[in-house]
Structure 1
Amino acid sequence: MQKSIYAEAIIQQTNSSLTMEEVIKLIEKPRFKEQGDLAFPCFLLAKTMRKAPQKIAEELAAKIDHPLFEKVIAEGSYVNCFLHKQTVSKRIIDAVLAAGSAYGSHSFGKGQSIAIDLSSPNIAKPFSMGHLRSTVIGNSLAHIAEKCGYKAVRINHLGDWGTQFGKLIVAYQRWGSEEKVRQAPIKELLALYVKFHKEAEKDSSLNDEGRLWFKKLEEGNEEAESLWKWFRDESLQEFSKIYELLGVEFDSIAGEAFYNSKMEEALEVLSAQNLLSSSQGAEVVDLEEHDLPPLLAKKSDGATLYATRDLAAAMYRQEQYHFSKAWYVVGFEQTLHFKQLFLVLGKMGYKWADEMDHIPFGFVLKDGKKMSTRKGEIVLLEEVLNEAVQLAEGNIEAKNPSLANKQQVAKMVGVGAVIFHDLKNDRQNNVEFSLEDMLRFEGTTGPYVQYTHARACSILRRSALEVGTESSAGLTDETSWAVAKLLMEFPNIIEKSFYQKEPSAIAKYVLELAQEFNKYYSQVKILADDSEQESRLALVKAVTIVLAEGLRLLGVKAPIEM
């Protein structure tokens, strides 16, 4: 809003060929608040105006004038603008109050579909901390896309097919007990999977037996299919408990097995486009021109691979959802696979392949090492979530024992702590698993932001004044101005997080807003009965709206009491 006005003033005074959008993107926040509220670098104008950037900055600063600007000064090669605190703070607060939770929304998605492939755990294996990242990053990106005007289609592409199921069938037949699996399905199936790999190190023929049983499964063998369905059903029941805790829902849970019947079509298109070539008895798509290894479409024994399945899945999703973009929230280790996949889809003649993106993320590490399901070195997500909720309940009992809905609030806080701990990190970084850090209720944590929101809600409840959709007047003190400026940034943060596919931008923003609000709360008597009380309460209400919405976009609930 204010950036647009500043950008317009710059364009008017320079007759620049730069577009409004380009100028807005160049406008930044000065390093120190004493330098102003908005800064425009003049380097790009130097070439067309044939003057030194410092000279352009001096001339521009002398010419720009607007009722919303208190003063405009030249600072080296920058033109720095000081906004009129009272007028602008009123405009910002009014905009938040009028829009409510819709504040910060964009319409550039134009109602188009965006298919987001997220979570995708393997059945018959526990939902570990390693699966958390894809789930919460993908869910947050779906919320952000919706905030930008897209229709997000959340797809859980379950790992329910592949050689590992042949191995699991062999393990169950040799060492399994139906009674034990029924009592604790995931725990027992994991134990069998780990045992298989330990035994296979001593006896490599077990791997051949596993491959043979997977081939039987592919061919529709009754015993193999019956065991596979049982493993799948038990897994889905376990997963649904975790998704419910995390508040994550899906539009599709069609896993790899769903695409078995659709792979032939993908192979037919590859063949019709003369893209398949033979390599040691296997069928591949050559990608040498892109300096990449070939995409393996069919093994020498006739078995298809997950690359073929992913081609079929992409074709099906485009047909089903008519997506304008497709995002795959999958770890770094699959980078090569997705490069190959998108290139091959492009070669098949699908223009929409240009709008497909792999969104990689780092590992969850335990003691600096990647977790491994094969070796049984994992931390179970359900146990972490339950422990987080119990800890939150203990904290609430100690600090606010008379709180209504204690269990409900503890669930919001405990689960929120786990989600926020992940999303506050840049997604490409590795995250060290630390229950202690995750569940801390102060510092840069989810509970800190939630508590700030609850504190602001409590101020509003204690006030006799009702805050409407418009503040009576703007505020002029420095602490309220710092908060108002951050509220002004929210729409830009949403846009940035969408284009960078980076939920951490929102997590860092809500932390900064919570910190600034707490400074304001500690320095200003918000409920003092004077002429500015209504304006102060309007600012508090605006903060509750933006904090709650920022947390929602991360998939975190915002309790009104804690």
Structure 2
Amino acid sequence: MVNYKEEISKIIAGQVSELSEEDALELVEIPQDPAMGDYAFPCFRLAKLLRKSPQSIAADIAQAIADRPLFEKVEQVNAYVNMFLSKEMYTRSTLEDAMDGENFGKTNVGDGKLVIVEYSSPNIAKPFHIGHIRSTVIGNSINLIYRALGYKVRRLNHVGDYGTQFGKMIVAYRHWGNEQDVKDNPITTLLGYYTKFHVEAEKHPELDDEARKAFADLEKGQEEEVKLWKWFREESMKEFNRVYKMLDIEFDEVDGESFYSDKMQRFIDELKEKGLLEESRGAQIVDLEEYGMPPALITKSDGSTLYCTRDIATAVYRKETYDFYKNIYVVASQQNLYFQQWMKVVELLGYDWVKDCIHVPFGMVSLEDGTMSTRAGRVVFLEDVLNKAVEKTREIIAEKNPAADEAFIDDVAHQVGIGAVIFQELSNNKIKDYVFKWDKVLNFDGETGPYVQYTHARCASVLRKAGEETVAKAWNLDDVDFSYLNSDSAYALTRLLYALPQTVVEAGEKFEPSIITRHIVNIAQAYNRFYHDEHILSENEEERVAKVALTIAAKNGIRNGLALLGMKAPERM
């Protein structure tokens, strides 16, 4: 894809000998108002260098470059050089890239370097609730974005299968558990036990001591505790995998904190050797006061390990096993301080590659009546949200297409219903907190996933109506007369398609899928304006072929953008 900013910076640097191409590139802008050109060059910084007014410099540059074939028009407006690209050249170049099917939007920025993305990470024996969707779909999208940027990505699901909560679960099952109830409805039943434990522990504090002992026995490998723990894990993963299948999300590796239970002593020993470990009320800590943080807890007074110890072991294991370029953790913003703490401990241990461990935080989900709480049993199951979205979508499709085949309705309802939930999660900046509301999640109007998917289906419909012969000519850009794509609506759409690859790069740099979400909404809106403003299937064959070519490009852009969010692009709706 032609980098027009670079081309323009070369042209301007060629006219201003005192200005390097790199400095010129920093100054080239894209005006917010298209009436000000495709690109603009401000001359304020050149005034002192050239000892002339910025307006005079802009006039000289505009006159000098106006006859370049790259430009349709060059204007001086005050201290700016406003440049309008040759529309036909720009459109041809953009459509050549957009016709590259599934590769459109991809680059090779990553050059095959290995990136680890850890996401989802639900807790064993606890509900896979709506709060987990953020890490799950944000992480999956980051994985897809980095693949599109040419990185090799290893997808990790680091499930919470260790810690004192399992001591509580084991104790609760011993007191009130029933094996058949767990088999019939594992998560709901285990959640009930967990909730009951906290209620009973308020009245009988000795239950907490019993739970701590049970977890200590689990760490020591006691047979009964290990057997119960493995069973809880297996039953939980069955339910989790059902949700992952609905979301079409896969992992290269599913491990848990337990995997690192035999790898932690090494780092406790290293901390002792380096004189970093201190005792505090029987617990072992690393004092981080010098760095403006509270101490990092390494082991409890009873000798059992903590999250910090396990995460240190996990990071080192990943570096030694995979030699990653980046190790990305998609974890809620509530853990910001914690990540700073354990990463500082890794740095103090002398592992300078810790700078390549990146915490990608996101905002929290709450219910309309307050924050979700597993202990209180106040949660919304993610599977229920997905099923409800699919069912609502099915009702809408069946109502609008009463003669449609049942299999078709089911397939599209799944794609659009699941997509609506994913898109809603990724439509806002990830760091924002939000309140979960059924009516908002299931609202298909406005700038939503179904709107973008419908636009893709509209493109597909136009291509079917155009016929195979016209579509074949449109794919071969040698048969396209680009003068038919000079209208405002066609050019606005073309500019958005041109920006897609750089948008993907920006989303990767910022770990922000909402950048792509917003961009494909813009593409969908631009195509719909083009669709309404232009007669695409014109009787004039040359005009029809050109407009079908732009429809193909828009369809590819929307489909590939949706794919980066983990969504499907239906051919019919």
* TM-score by shorter chain over 0.5: yes
Distance 2:368 2:205 in 1: 31
SS of structure 2 residue aligned to 1:365: strand
**Are the counterparts in 2 of residues 368 and 432 from structure 1 also a CA contact under 8 Å?**
no
Change (3 A) 1:435 1:47: farther
2:358 pairs with 1:342: no
| Residue matched to 2:475 | 468
| Superposition pairs of residues 291-310 of structure 1, within 5 angstroms | 291-310=292-311
1:377-404 Cα shifts (integer Å, max 9, x gaps): 2111000101111111111111123445
1:237-265 Cα shifts (integer Å, max 9, x gaps): 00000001111111111110010011112
| Superposition pairs of residues 238-317 of structure 1, within 5 angstroms | 238-317=239-318
| Residue matched to 1:485 | 495
1:81-134 Cα shifts (integer Å, max 9, x gaps): 21222221122112211x222122221211011111111000101110100000
Match of 1:437 among 437, 440, 443: 440
Change (3 A) 1:461 1:46: same
1:23-55 Cα shifts (integer Å, max 9, x gaps): 546543312222222223444545544555444
1:447-498 Cα shifts (integer Å, max 9, x gaps): 0000000100110011131232426122111110110011011011011101
Report the TM-score, using the length of structure 1 for normalisation: 0.96
Distance 2:263 2:535 in 1: 66
Change (3 A) 1:54 1:339: farther
| Superposition pairs of residues 153-302 of structure 1, within 5 angstroms | 153-302=154-303
Q: How many residues align?
A: 560
Counterpart amino acid of residue 473 in structure 1:
D
**Are the counterparts in 1 of residues 389 and 418 from structure 2 also a CA contact under 8 Å?**
yes
SS of structure 1 residue aligned to 2:263: helix
Moved more, 31-40 or 115-124: 31-40
Counterpart amino acid of residue 512 in structure 1:
N
| Residue matched to 1:133 | 134
**Are the counterparts in 2 of residues 438 and 445 from structure 1 also a CA contact under 8 Å?**
no
2:537 pairs with 1:535: no
Change (3 A) 1:112 1:75: same
1:342-376 Cα shifts (integer Å, max 9, x gaps): 22222222221111111000012221733221111
Change (3 A) 1:435 1:74: farther
Q: Unaligned 5+ residue runs, structure 1?
A: none
| Residue matched to 2:534 | 524
**Are the counterparts in 1 of residues 155 and 251 from structure 2 also a CA contact under 8 Å?**
yes
| Residue matched to 2:76 | 74
SS of structure 1 residue aligned to 2:115: strand
Change (3 A) 1:399 1:161: same
Q: 1:67, CA displacement in angstroms?
A: 1.2
Match of 2:459 among 456, 459, 462: 456
Change (3 A) 1:166 1:28: same
Q: 1:266, CA displacement in angstroms?
A: 2.1
**Are the counterparts in 2 of residues 396 and 406 from structure 1 also a CA contact under 8 Å?**
yes
| Residue matched to 1:15 | 17
Moved more, 149-158 or 211-220: 211-220
Distance 2:52 2:115 in 1: 46
Distance 2:44 2:343 in 1: 38
Counterpart amino acid of residue 86 in structure 1:
E
Distance 2:236 2:26 in 1: 47
Change (3 A) 1:522 1:50: same
Distance 2:48 2:145 in 1: 38
Change (3 A) 1:79 1:194: farther
| Residue matched to 1:422 | 425
Moved more, 155-164 or 279-288: 279-288
Match of 1:411 among 405, 410, 414: 414
**Are the counterparts in 1 of residues 10 and 21 from structure 2 also a CA contact under 8 Å?**
no
Give me the CA root mean square deviation. Answer: 1.8
Distance 2:252 2:163 in 1: 23
1:326-353 Cα shifts (integer Å, max 9, x gaps): 1110001110111112222222222211
2:12 pairs with 1:4: no
Distance 1:393 1:286 in 2: 57
Counterpart amino acid of residue 164 in structure 1:
Q
Distance 1:308 1:48 in 2: 57
Match of 1:96 among 88, 95, 98: 98
1:201-228 Cα shifts (integer Å, max 9, x gaps): 2332222221121111111222211111
Q: 1:523, CA displacement in angstroms?
A: 1.2
| Residue matched to 2:566 | 555
Q: Unaligned 5+ residue runs, structure 2?
A: none
2:97 pairs with 1:86: no
Q: 1:268, CA displacement in angstroms?
A: 2.8
Change (3 A) 1:198 1:25: farther
**Are the counterparts in 1 of residues 105 and 560 from structure 2 also a CA contact under 8 Å?**
no
Change (3 A) 1:395 1:269: same
Change (3 A) 1:18 1:217: farther
Q: 1:295, CA displacement in angstroms?
A: 1.5
**Are the counterparts in 1 of residues 75 and 82 from structure 2 also a CA contact under 8 Å?**
yes
2:502 pairs with 1:495: no
**Are the counterparts in 2 of residues 440 and 447 from structure 1 also a CA contact under 8 Å?**
no
**Are the counterparts in 2 of residues 425 and 431 from structure 1 also a CA contact under 8 Å?**
no
Q: 1:282, CA displacement in angstroms?
A: 2.4
Change (3 A) 1:300 1:76: farther
| Residue matched to 1:324 | 325
Q: Percent identity?
A: 44
| Residue matched to 1:367 | 368
| Residue matched to 2:525 | 515
Change (3 A) 1:539 1:284: same
| Superposition pairs of residues 363-402 of structure 1, within 5 angstroms | 363-367=364-368, 369-402=370-403
SS of structure 2 residue aligned to 1:212: helix
**Are the counterparts in 1 of residues 106 and 149 from structure 2 also a CA contact under 8 Å?**
yes
Q: 1:272, CA displacement in angstroms?
A: 3.4
1:157-195 Cα shifts (integer Å, max 9, x gaps): 100000111111111111221121111000111111111
Counterpart amino acid of residue 184 in structure 1:
N
Moved more, 115-124 or 337-346: 337-346
**Are the counterparts in 2 of residues 94 and 469 from structure 1 also a CA contact under 8 Å?**
no
Counterpart amino acid of residue 427 in structure 1:
K
SS of structure 2 residue aligned to 1:326: strand
Distance 2:370 2:78 in 1: 48
Change (3 A) 1:282 1:87: same
Moved more, 495-504 or 472-481: 472-481
